[in-house]
Structure 1
Amino acid sequence: MEWLTDTRTSYDAVAEDYATFVRDALGEQPYLLAALRLFAEQVADGPVADVGCGPGQITAHLNSLGIAAYGIDLSPGMIAVARRDYPTLRFEVGSLTDPLPTAALAGIVAWQSVIHLPDDLLPAVLANFRQALRPDGVLHLLFQVGDETRLKTEGYGGHPMQVQVHRRPRERMTTWLRDAGFAVEAELLLNPETPAPQALLTARSRRQ
């Protein structure tokens, strides 16, 4: 799949500069910090998969909250940085489209990782997340809000990139989540008055 190759290559190219960019960013986002603290309480028995973990800063923060979290990312360059910066934690190379172990997880974090995923693949990925969660498991999904797709050709540090960035309405995402077997429990809209708002959805896997 061309989009997969382009995304992997692009993030390999920017891995070091991206890690520098996001290393302290979480400390400047109080609403996301508060959301992660609540999430940690909801999934206290773990484990948690951070899917699309990038350089591992969210994985590391969850572990600092006492959660047994591990990271998965498409980019080997990102995983190399994460393993270097957080050598005691577990990181794996993998795709959003790869199956996860069935009913093995208390929680999944997918922050800004679905923004490069084409619409026709996203429902199946959400269904995969649902299958990987235990009954009443929790999904944290952060994404860009809008209704457009743009091509990102330059990234962190001025490196060339070639990735599609999909912005989606909250209503569409919540519909996909419900269709995949989730109950959406909370929505948080971040920076709604800026050109690039984000939404954080908390969804719980429904008992079958």
Structure 2
Amino acid sequence: MATQGEKLVAFYTGHNAANYDSMMEKEMEKYTEDFEFLDKKLPDGDLVDTCFGSGHMLHKLEQKYPERTLKGIDISPDMLKVAQGKCKRAQLSIGDMTQPLQDQDLAGILNCFSIHHLNPGQPQEAIIQWAQALKPSGCLYLAAWEGEGNIDYGSHDMTAYFWPEKTLEQWLTDAGLNIIMKRTHFEKEMEMNSIYFIAQRT
């Protein structure tokens, strides 16, 4: 039986990787205000995207922070190729967001719409690891699908989970992070609730 990681690698290949890249072109505008708020809170230092996907987030950070070291990991080789065509300076590599980060004392960590792919217990463990990798006043930017139950991937052999707002909040605060921004948004096309946090290490 394939592991969740193997399923993700198989899913985000070829056509699906290209479709995700195209979708993100339309999605980036909704992050503008979040990134403006994040900019006011970030200390000096490096930034890491723990699941960079198509590379849109890191590309935006490249433009905004030419002086910062930017790094990213993703489990999908095909998404790595897509991101490499977009990101000119960020250091990209294959990696698993559930594993401890090699870098510590980070100014910021991003994880956008990927923890729904983690099995119960894993998101909380990952958030703890990310919090520990932040320097004092460092920030975690977390975006997730909010709710309860499983996310429907149709005919694809994929298990994915909604996570309740209160559960996400608890994970962040239990990890020693202070939630300094939270917003929710109803995605009409997908009929799903999205939720966005900026949480700062005290």
The secondary structure found in structure 2 opposite 1:197 is: strand
- How many residues are paired up? 197
Structural RMSD (CA): 2.0
Question: Matched residues in 1 for 2:8 and 2:45: separation?
Answer: 29
| Structure 1: distance between partners of 2:104 and 2:20 | 32
SS of structure 2 residue aligned to 1:55: coil
Identity of aligned residues (%): 22
Find the aligned partners of 2:44 and 2:19 in 1 and give their Cα distance.
34
2:166 equivalent in structure 1: 171
| Aligned partner letter, 1:103 | Q
| TM-score normalised by structure 2 residue count | 0.88
1:33 corresponds in structure 2 to 32
* Residue type of the alignment partner of 1:43: L
**Preserved CA contact (<8 Å) 1:147 1:169:** yes
| 1:166 CA displacement | 1.1
C-alpha distance in 1 between matches for 2:45 and 2:116: 26
- Structure 1 segments, 4+ long, off by >4 Å, are none
Partner secondary structure for residue 147 of structure 2:
coil
Q: Secondary structure at the match of 1:109?
A: strand
1:200 paired with 2:196, answer yes
Among candidates 7, 14, 17, match of residue 15 of structure 1:
17
Question: How big is each residue's C-alpha offset from its partner over 1:109-136, in whole Å with a ceiling of 9 and x where there is no partner?
Answer: 1110111111211111111101111112
* Alignment match, 1:51: 50
Work out the CA distance in 1 between the residues paired with 2:80 and 2:40.
27
What is the match of residue 88 of structure 2?
87
SS of alignment partner, residue 152 of structure 1: coil
Aligned partners of 2:103 and 2:95: how far apart in 1? 16
Secondary structure at the counterpart of residue 117 of structure 2:
coil
| CA distance, structure 1, for counterparts of residue 187 and residue 179 of structure 2 | 20
CA-CA distance at 1:163 after TM superposition: 2.2
Residue 69 of structure 2 contacts residue 90 of structure 2 at CA under 8 Å; is this kept in 1?
Answer: no
Q: Is the 8 A contact 2:58 2:87 kept in 1?
A: no
Contact map agreement 1:189 1:198 (CA 8 A) in 2 = yes
Query: Residue 86 of structure 1 aligns to a residue in which SS?
Result: coil
Shift of 1:61: 0.4
Gaps of 5+ in 1: 155-160
Letter in 1 for 2:118: L
User: Any unmatched runs of 5+ in structure 2?
Assistant: none
Name the SS for the 1:7 alignment partner. Answer: helix
Residue 46 of structure 2 aligns with an amino acid whose one-letter code is P
Q: Does 1:191 align with 2:186?
A: yes
2:59 and 2:88 map into 1 onto residues whose CA distance is 10
Go from structure 1 to structure 2 and tell me whether the alpha carbon gap of 1:176 and 1:23 turns closer, same or farther (over 3 Å shift).
Answer: same
Residues 174 and 85 of structure 1, relative CA distance in 2, 3 Å threshold:
same
Tell me which residue corresponds to 2:141: 140
**Cα pair 2:56 2:86 within 8 Å, conserved:** no
* Secondary structure at the counterpart of residue 106 of structure 1: strand
